[in-house]
Amino acid sequence: EQIVYHATHDQLTGLLNRRGFETTLARVVERARNEHHGGALIYVDLDNFKVYNDAYGFSNGDKVILLTARVLAEALRGRPDCFLGHVGGDDFVCITPREEAEGLCQRAIEAFAAAIGDHYSPEDRRRGAVAGKSRDGAPGMFPLVSLSMGIVDCAFEIPFSAEEFSQRVAEVKKFAKTR
C-alpha cells in the first residue's frame, strides 16, 4: 500500500500527483459516461511564482505550494465527488461537478488572496509587488503571487487520452494567464 501511495501522491502536499490524478480522471470519466453526466476540470496555476521563489527561496516557495493545496482542499471540503491533484511544480488540477466549478474558483481565489500576504515581507506587502527578474531575465517589479484558474467544461461523452487532456489544459492555462 505504501508503494502505491508514494507512486500516486505528491510528496510535499500529499495530494494526487500526475500519475494518481490521471488514474482518478480515467475512473471519473468512465463513471460520468455510464451515468450520463459531465463535469468540470479546473486547472490552477500560480502567477509570479518564479519571482517569488527567486526572492524568497525554495523553502518559502514550498510554503506557498502548501497554502495553495490547503486553499483548494478547503474549497472542495465535504465534496466526495470532487478530486484535487498537485500535478507538478505550481500546477494543480481539480475535478468537480460543472455547476460548482465557478463558485469553487471564486472561493479559492478569495481565500488565497487573503492569505498570500503573510508570505511576504512587510515592505513587499505594502508595495503589493516584489523586485525580481522575469523568465527572460528582464528586471522589474512583479505583483504578489496570485491564482490563475481555467475551467474546462466536459461532457465526458467522447473518449480522450491523458495526452489530449494535457493539451487542452495547456490551452486553458494560457488563456487563464492572459486574463
Among all residues, which ones are annotated catalytic?
90
What residue type is 147 in one-letter code? L
- The length of the chain in residues reads 179
Q: Which helix (H) or strand (E) holds 84?
A: strand 83-88
* Nearest Cα to Cα of residue 142 among 53, 70, 72: 53
CA dihedral sign of residues 133, 135, 141, 144:
negative
The grid cell for 50 is 518564479
CB-neighbour burial class of residue 117 (10 A; exposed 0-12, middle 13-18, buried 19+): middle
In the numeric block, the cell 487532456 is attached to 165
Q: Sheet holding 146-154: strands in order across? A: 83-88, 91-96, 39-47, 146-154
Separation between Cα atoms, residue 44 and residue 13, nearest integer Å: 15
